[in-house]
Structure 1
Amino acid sequence: MRKILTVDTPRILLGLLFLVGAIEGFTFIFTGNHLIHPPTSPAGEAFELALQQSGFVWPLVKTVHLVGALCLLSNRAPAFGLAILLPAITVIALFHFVLNPGGIPMALAMLVLTGLLLVAYRDRYRPLFGRGAAGRFA
């Protein structure tokens, strides 16, 4: 039961969150229309528009979101899926804390889910930070 609450539920919820975001992002890329677009501050809209108009950043970000979500939802390499999503999670959290305060509750929920998964997968990340890790890659 503990594993369900601390690993499976956060993994599935975070995976669904990023899957929905990826689907919405690809829908915008292919149709120019949003399926879901929560209220966003003017500064947040300007940031999002800049990413979309860059031509390559938005598709790259949404592809990473899709791959990470599929890893989490399929439970195939979930620690890898979380690792590739961590930069996006950081940017999304900062986006809400700095540019779009209305999304802070969602950012906090995402950070809690991420924290639970980081603790659950800590053994898989330990070799990256262990003694002599830098020497193995030099």
Structure 2
Amino acid sequence: MKIVKQIVFTLFALMFLNAGLNKFFNYMPVPKLTPEQMEAFGAFMKIKWLMPLLATMETTGSILVIIPKTRALGALVLFPIMTGILLHHFTMDPSGLPMVLPLAAVLLWIILDNRKKYALLLQ
């Protein structure tokens, strides 16, 4: 089970690493966006520091998740990003939910797997 868990968590982290690096290097094509999505994306682009921050956090969080000792911290870094992704897909792009829901489930699994490490934060 430990090997399966490491493989699943690593694949999860590689998805976020790819997304973060794509924000820096723009090597993947952007799918056709709806007018609402274009408006939201335009607002993100007006805030010059937002995309580099998001890319940095995705990249850093994914690297932390790959390393078992820092996995709990990586999950905390990726949690707000995953929350934003889920909210986006629930409100603007429901067609992406089949891809996002398993990723959210893996993140929840990582958090539950490391719940003892979070105990001090909740006291």
TM-score in same-fold range (> 0.5): yes
Structure number with the bigger relative contact order (C-alpha 8 A, sep ≥ 6) is 1
Measure, in 2, the Cα distance between the counterparts of 1:45 and 1:24: 18
Name the counterpart of 1:96: 89
Deviations 1:4-56 (A, max 9, x none): 33x3133212211110101110014xxxxx52324443322322232123101
Q: Percent identity?
A: 25
The aligned runs of 1:30-45 (5 Å cut-off) are 35-45=28-38
Measured on the aligned residues, the alpha-carbon RMSD in Å equals 1.7
Measure, in 1, the Cα distance between the counterparts of 2:121 and 2:52: 29
Unpaired stretches in structure 2, ≥5 consecutive residues: none
Deviations 1:91-115 (A, max 9, x none): 0011011111111111111111111
Unpaired stretches in structure 1, ≥5 consecutive residues: 29-33, 134-138
Measure, in 2, the Cα distance between the counterparts of 1:122 and 1:60: 27
SS in structure 2 opposite 1:77?
helix
The aligned runs of 1:1-138 (5 Å cut-off) are 2-5=1-4, 7-28=5-26, 35-129=28-122, 133=123
Measure, in 1, the Cα distance between the counterparts of 2:17 and 2:76: 16
TM-score, normalised with respect to structure 1: 0.80
Measure, in 2, the Cα distance between the counterparts of 1:36 and 1:93: 21
TM-score, normalised with respect to structure 2: 0.88
Please say which structure displays the higher CA radius of gyration.
1
